[in-house]
Structures are given as structure tokens and as C-alpha cells.
Structure 1
């Protein structure tokens, strides 16, 4: 929700899961009114809204206050998630391979429900991982452990796992502007579960370590 300085400001929201659309609601109450041109959209970062689906998430953006539109450059073999200024994703090559039919311990073929399992499957090979400006410029490589679909804080900081001493998984914050990583201090627990910091595209990232909650202000990183 966002709010203008005017006492007659609006609360703006998106019914992200049930009814995909963007609405305005007066703070004084009343029925929600759909924002024109954003009937199928999600809020990315107000006032920018876009369609959250397919292999190019938020490829097309609409500024619902000014009517400005921004279309990102996406190649045919790419799967990306875009922000207001940048897109991050992978270039992938798919091929059809012969599938091995699942069998039980006796060697009997296991069916896929009531049908026979398919003879082929689609195999994906990641060709490269990247981040670049929406216009296609300034492309840079991302680490191999970049998680596709991850929101980058301020469209600059990605959560990337590295292997530390003793083959322990270490969660780091990767800065695409400098190409450096910083250890966030997060480690897997006894069950192998690791808390992933939350924050989306915003400036603040929060995550627990033990009984303490950490709040990281990304704007303080120069």
C-alpha cells in the first residue's frame, strides 16, 4: 500500500493471487476501483505495474500515474525477471531426451497415474546467467549459484550461496555493481534448513540468526 500526502489520498493494492488487478481505495472508505490499463497487472514498485507470468516476468511495465510504458529487451532463449531498471535471468537451451521409465523394486513399470509415462522428457542446459539494463545494455555475468526468479535488493544485491570451509553452505550478498560478495552470517541448521533473507526489491533486508533479528540497510553499502 502507498499513500500520498493529500488527506484524500488513496490506498493502492493488487489482489495478487485471487484477482490479478490493481485497485484504488479512498482512505475514507468505499468500493475499490480498478486502475485503468492495469486490469491484469501486479504492483512491482509503485507506480510501476506489470504482468507477472511467463518466462519474462515484468517485461512490460506501465506507470499508472503518467501512462509511460517500458518494454525490456529479451532474447528468444532467455528467461528473466525484470525490475524497473534491470532484468536478471538465464539463457537456456532445451532438448528432448529419451526418458527412463520408472520401475519398482521387482522391475515392474510404474504408471504415471492411469496412463503410461511419456517416452521423452525435456532437458534444460543453462548457457549463461546474467543481469543487464532493461534496454539490453551493460550485461554482466552472475555467479553460477544465482537463483532464477530471486528479487535483487535495489536491483543490485542478489542472494548467492557459496561453499565455505568444510564444504559448508554459506549465504552471501552479491553486489553486481562491484562484483564482490559479503557473508551474511547465515548457516544451515541441524536439519540443513537455512533462513533466506526477506526484502524483495526494497532497501531493507531482514533475517534471523539464532535468537536475533538482523536488519540490513542496503543503501548504506557504497
Structure 2
């Protein structure tokens, strides 16, 4: 893609799918046709080269950015919306799930967990943009450096204590393959692994690479085609790359070479984070549907944890220890044995059910005229009950954030505090004949643009949050 397209994407802050109206059928059809090979696209990397997700006030947006990989640039569409007439108060982003119930106290993450928040440069010294992947420790962040939008070419580790970055490995593409893009990246105990595809063509093909976690030369493990190339999530062990596919099932490819193998007993299972797999999809927007997960399986030991399901629960998603889901008009959290069940009143639905090993991620309802701190989203620690605010809504009730792009639930959330989201509205439909009355909101569309920023990213590292149990 050219530089102009990337710059346009950096400036555009779009409504996230859960809070904005969808595009028209013609645009949606075009997007789906163009992205047949990217059904795994994740909302957590929808904005700009920084990989941020945008949400806007009022549940309205005039421009939608559909997250993708493959570097063809954004797919944008003007979306007619319902907006308050100019000069009136903007509508809320989301009505209170429990009317009359006070919202939990949400303070900025830097106040809740000051030791876990740091500021890093948004670009490497050579100008390549950083895309945060996940945390490796309480002070180490795994990043990819991109020469152009989503064109990862290097792995780096940023030390937040020392304030410097170290190159871990170059990320070359396979010789003779055009249109190649890195997709899933995942650290293991000994290696960092990634998969790659050619998402802009119709090939059903993927390959796998590993590099020593301590740093060194990357090597290509092998490639797969057909159904095996529908890579959903990956993991890496001491002797193999493992991955699940969209239709279910977990496979392994030995690092020493050889043919791919299906792991016995994994029919219908999807990787969460090796060695754990679940019987619900963990791809594009886990938790976004109503289907409930029923079990979590340890693929190394064979242990099976049945998912406890409260009556009426929807979208239940569980890890090895904690579960999140929706109940009635609100959300809930509990341990996998059903204990410590808590209804999270005054908070929105889970957006991304898991971060790290135990954290939930939630939208925060906004009330008209609210003057106190209004975060774009909130991270919830079920152990302490704390809610930490991510970024801050602008005066136009807009804002952005990003979660790490690791294949497993990421351990970081990040945002650009130097940027400002500005929302503007226009009337697209001409006025009717003199004397005719028209609805004041008819034909109004709005767009949210990003101004400033691009120099630093504020990062919440969940591996640096103290454990209290």
C-alpha cells in the first residue's frame, strides 16, 4: 500500500462494531468478498498502524474501519447515522445496563496500577512503527516493527525499566512468495513463533516460523495448505508449532521437520493459550456471540474443566481459572468451579473476554453531562475487584485503544495520550420544500478523526499488576 493510504488510516478513528451501526449491504458484501481469506480479523487491531480499536459516543459513526491484515489499506464507508442536532448534547454511547445502579469506580490505570503503566516510543529509530504484541515479563514488551501498515519485518523486545529496545529477530518472508504478511505471533518458553499467509489472493496456504526467545536467527518450520491453512491461533512448545483451525481441531508441526499431525482428541476444540483449548471459537471476536463454552481442556495432561453455566448465561467464556459472560442485561464473572460469582452491575458487556491470565475487558457506559473521568474502556481484575480505565473519552465522546496482537489473550493494553479524537457531523440530505417539516436528525452523518499523537504509546502491562492470591 502507498504512504498516503497509511496516513489516511492513521488519521481516521472509526466506530467499533459493537457500538456503531453496520455498513450498508453493498459495502458489507464487498468487504466480505475482499476478505474471504481474513475471517479471523480481530477488532482489537482496527485502527491505524498502531493497531488501535476505536469507540465513539452515541453509538454513531460515519466511517467504519474493518480490521484486517494484508496491507491493502483501510476499507472505509460513509454510514448514515442518527446524531443529535448541532448544539445539543450528544447521546450516550451506551445506556446503563442497570438503570439507577451506580457504576463501579473506574480510575485511570496509572492510578490503579502505577507500577504497570509505562510510556514507550511509537516508532523505532529507523522510523518503522511499533505494534505491541504482548508482555514477556513485568518489564519486557514484545513488539513487531512494521515497514508499512501491517508489514511486520522485525521482532523487538522493549525494556520499560531500562527504556530501550533490543532486536530479537528479523522476520523474513519465504523466498519467491509475493504478498506475504505475518499473521499470528506467539511467545513460548523457548521460542517465539509466528505464522504467515498471502491474504490478498485465494491461496489456502500458510507457513510457520520460530526464533529463539533469547534472540537469534529465525527459521522456517514448514508450510500447510487447504483446511490446515485456516490458522486460527498458534502456540509453540519445545519441539513443535501447534495451531487450531477455524472449523475446530488442533494440529502440530515438529520443529525438527516432518508432516503436520492432528492432536488426538481435539475435534471441535480451539486453542486459547497452549496447552489450553476450549470448545468455543476463540477467533475474531470471542464473547461477541451468545453461544456458551462448556469445557476447557489441557492438551498436555488431558485435564478437562467443565464450564459452570448460570441459568440464563450467554457468551460464557472460561480460561483455566476464571469465566466471564453476560447475564440478563449485565455481565458476570466467576471462577471455573462456580465460586466467587459476581454480577458486574453498572458496566457494559465484555468486549474482549480475556486479557492475560485473569483480566476482563469491558465497555463503560457514558451518561449525558458526565464531568468526571470517562475512560474508553476498563480492565477488571476479578481478584481485587478493581476497574482500571483505559485512555479517556474526548469532548466529542470518542477515543481509541489497542490490545496486544498475540495469538493468546494478550497481556497489554495501549493507547496514544498525545492524540485527540474530533467528531464532526454534516447533513447529507437537502432540505425539503419551504414549510415542510423534517426530522431534525434525518440525513445527518458523523465522522471521527484523529489529530496529533503518533510519538509515544502508553502501555498497561498486566504482568506487572500485583497478584494478591
TM-score by length of 1: 0.68
- Deviation digits for residues 190-222 of structure 1 (CA, Å, limit 9, x no counterpart): 6x6532431473322233443232322112222
SS in 2 for 1:131: strand
User: For 1:85, which of 312, 321, 327 is the aligned residue?
Assistant: 321
1:14 and 2:244 are equivalent in the alignment:
yes
Asked whether the equivalents of residues 162 and 170 of structure 1 are also in contact (C-alpha less than 8 Å), the reply is no
Mark the runs of 5 or more structure 2 residues left unpaired by the alignment: 1-233, 282-288, 420-453
Counterpart pick for 1:24 among 234, 252, 257: 252
Does the C-alpha gap of structure 1 residues 216 and 144 become closer, same or farther in structure 2, counting only changes over 3 Å?
Answer: same
CA RMSD of aligned residues (A): 2.8
Aligned position for 1:167: 370
Q: Could you say which residue in structure 2 is the equivalent of 1:68?
A: 303
In structure 1, the residue matched to 2:50 is none
SS in structure 2 at match of 1:219 = helix
Please give the per-residue CA displacement for 1:53-85, whole angstroms capped at 9, x wherever unaligned: 574543212211111111011133111221221
Q: Secondary structure at the match of 2:463?
A: helix
Match of 1:48 among 276, 294, 300: 276
Query: Using the alignment, how far apart are the partners of 1:25 and 1:141 within structure 2?
Result: 42
5+ long unaligned stretches in structure 1: 93-125
Of 266, 281, 284, the match for 1:38: 266
| SS state at 1:151 partner | strand
Matched, 1:207 2:415: yes
Query: Which piece of structure 1 moves more, 135-144 or 33-42?
Result: 135-144
- Cα–Cα, structure 1 residues 32 and 145, in superposed 2: closer, same or farther, change >3 Å? same
Structure 2 CA distance for partners of 1:150 and 1:2, relative to 1, 3 Å:
closer
Is the Cα contact below 8 Å between 2:318 and 2:336 reproduced in 1? yes
Shift of 1:23: 0.5
- Match in the other structure for 1:141: 343
Partners of 1:148 and 1:183 in 2: how far apart? 14
Matched, 1:220 2:423: no
How far is 1:137 from its partner?
0.7
Residues 351 and 362 in structure 2, CA contact (< 8 A), matched pair in contact too: no
TM-score scaled by length of structure 2: 0.35
Taking the aligned partners of 2:320 and 2:387, their CA distance within structure 1 comes to: 23
Q: Which structure has the highest helix share of the two? A: 2
Change (3 A) 1:55 1:40: same
Distance 1:184 1:164, change over 3 A: farther
How many angstroms apart in 2 are the aligned matches of 1:11 and 1:84? 21
2:391 maps to 185
Q: Is the 8 A contact 1:155 1:201 kept in 2?
A: no
